[in-house]
Amino acid sequence: MAPQVITIGTSVAPEKRLRKSPAPTDSPLAGAVSEARREASNGALPNEAAPDEASPHATSPHVAASGSGSSSNGLSRISATDLPRLANDWLLDCDYRMHSPQTIKTRRVFLNSLAWFLDHRQYASCGTPELKEFLHYLRHGHEEAGGRWGKKQFNKSVRPETVKDYWVCFSTFFKWLVAEEILPASPMTKIPKPVARFEEKQPLTPDQVKAVIDAARRSLHPRRDEAILLLLLDTGIRSSELCGIRLRDIDLHSRQCSVLGKGDKFRTVHFGTNTGQALRLYLRQRCGEPDEPLFLADKTHGAIRPLTRSGLQQLMKRLGKVAGLQRSCSPHVWRRTFAVTWLRNGANVYSLQKMLGHCDLRVSLQYLSLSSADIADQAQQFSPADRLRDRPRSKRA
């Protein structure tokens, strides 16, 4: 069946579908999500896993087009059956404009989530009302009996940052449709950007860090696991950056490492003597070519298989459980622990920005609030006025 063209609807209310039929199995958008879902189910994606890629997409008739080419509220609508094709065109555009593979993979998952939602609610088209309903579902879908995306394991609320990421993705996608003259206006223009306040989650305590490192020393790969933990603690690099390190990127003499961050930008991070020693001991048993990955997966079966983000997530979760932690032990928690400890030890926020790879200084400044979390205790301990009480009063002449 030939691809259907975008049509513009006149109704503002969500459109119900007349009938449903399975989506073509060769749909580029639906097929590519399988890999993302498999990795997401293992913890690869930090925020939310994708819905079932086998979920059928309707092929019901489009909403009737109005003569003016826009809906009554001046915003455009697209047919739900056209969403996979248009999304794939946009992702191809992102690819040849050199967006990072992880960015494209995440956007693909987000758009599949929207396609699943439209099918789940039996909506024939997508406009502002449907997008608002989707964002509401994203926040509250875990409250339904079947869980978010119809999966019982997704029974917890998503972070506000996740909702904002979806909003940004959809805004960019529909803006592209307008630039391509497929839509006259974006249906996202009437949806305000969600507020995602910085979550003041506390970093790991020194005792918790030591407990996890001790657990690593008792693991199946003690040298590798200890080197991973100390490198995360000493540099604050992201999980994708750690998994992308090659043997050639490590310089033990100058104790520095080159990592590939967001936007395909390289930066240099530095580590201390303890981390350097852990890496040196690990490299004694990790021989290989310069282009090979620094850290290998648990089960390589004789092949050179790099440690993946999902494998790293599972490793950190396992070590946290062995250490008896009653909280998350994800790579991002170690990134937060590095940032807060770095500032508490007297470093400035500008050097923190360079180490973390933040383009915007305001992102790095958010960690200042966490580094000052114990300011109340310090005020009570070092209050100048309170210390006056300890001084002996001078006798009057």
62, 105, 309, 358: which is the annotated catalytic residue? 358
Catalytic residue check, 142: no
Q: What is the mean pLDDT of residues 342-357?
A: 86
Q: What is the pTM of this model?
A: 0.62
* Residue 174 CB partners (closer than 8 Å, separation 6+): 183, 186, 187, 188
Residues 248 and 235 sit within 8 Å (Cβ to Cβ):
no
Percent of the chain scored above 70 by pLDDT? 72
Q: Give the range among 146-160, 320-334, 376-390 with minimum mean pLDDT.
A: 376-390
Q: What is the mean pLDDT of residues 263-275?
A: 91
pLDDT of 368: 67
pLDDT of 162: 92
37, 221, 223, 238: which is the annotated catalytic residue? 238
pLDDT of 123: 96
Catalytic residue check, 218: no
pLDDT of 264: 79
Find which of 32-41, 70-79, 229-238, 343-352 is predicted with most confidence, using mean pLDDT. Answer: 229-238
Catalytic residue check, 282: no
Checking if the pLDDT of 41 tops 60, the result is no
pLDDT of 203: 87
Phi, psi dihedrals of residue 124, rounded to the nearest 5°: -85, -20
Phi, psi dihedrals of residue 103, rounded to the nearest 5°: -60, -45
Length of the chain in terms of residues written: 397
132, 139, 142, 332: which is the annotated catalytic residue? 332
pLDDT of 21: 35
37, 62, 107, 335: which is the annotated catalytic residue? 335
Q: What is the pLDDT of residues 42-63, one digit of tens each?
A: 333 334 444 443 333 333 333 3
pLDDT category at 360 given cuts 50, 70, 90 is confident
Catalytic residue check, 332: yes
Phi, psi dihedrals of residue 257, rounded to the nearest 5°: -145, 140
Checking if the pLDDT of 73 tops 70, the result is no
pLDDT of 233: 95
Catalytic residue check, 238: yes
pLDDT of 37: 39
Checking if the pLDDT of 265 tops 60, the result is yes
DSSP characters over 50-119: PPPTT-----PPPPPPPTTSS-TTS---EEGGGHHHHHHHHHHHHHHTT--HHHHHHHHHHHHHHHHHHH
Q: What is the pLDDT of residues 363-373, one digit of tens each?
A: 777 776 665 55
Q: Which domains does the chain have, with CATH numbers?
A: 28-179 (no CATH), 206-379 (1.10.443.10)
Q: Give the range among 131-135, 248-252, 343-347 with minimum mean pLDDT.
A: 343-347
What average pLDDT is seen over the chain? Answer: 79
262, 267, 317, 344: which is the annotated catalytic residue? 262
pLDDT of 237: 94
What is the crossing angle of helices 331-344 and 309-322, to 10°?
70
Give the residue from 155, 191, 158 showing the smallest Cα distance to 173: 191
Find which of 120-134, 331-345, 373-387 is predicted with most confidence, using mean pLDDT. Answer: 120-134
Catalytic residue check, 358: yes
For 192, the token pair is 């305000």
List the beta bridge partners of residue 319: none
* Residue 189 CB partners (closer than 8 Å, separation 6+): 75
Q: What is the mean pLDDT of residues 5-22?
A: 38
4 in helix, strand or coil?
coil
Q: What is the pLDDT of residues 98-140, one digit of tens each?
A: 888 888 999 999 999 999 999 999 999 999 999 999 999 999 9
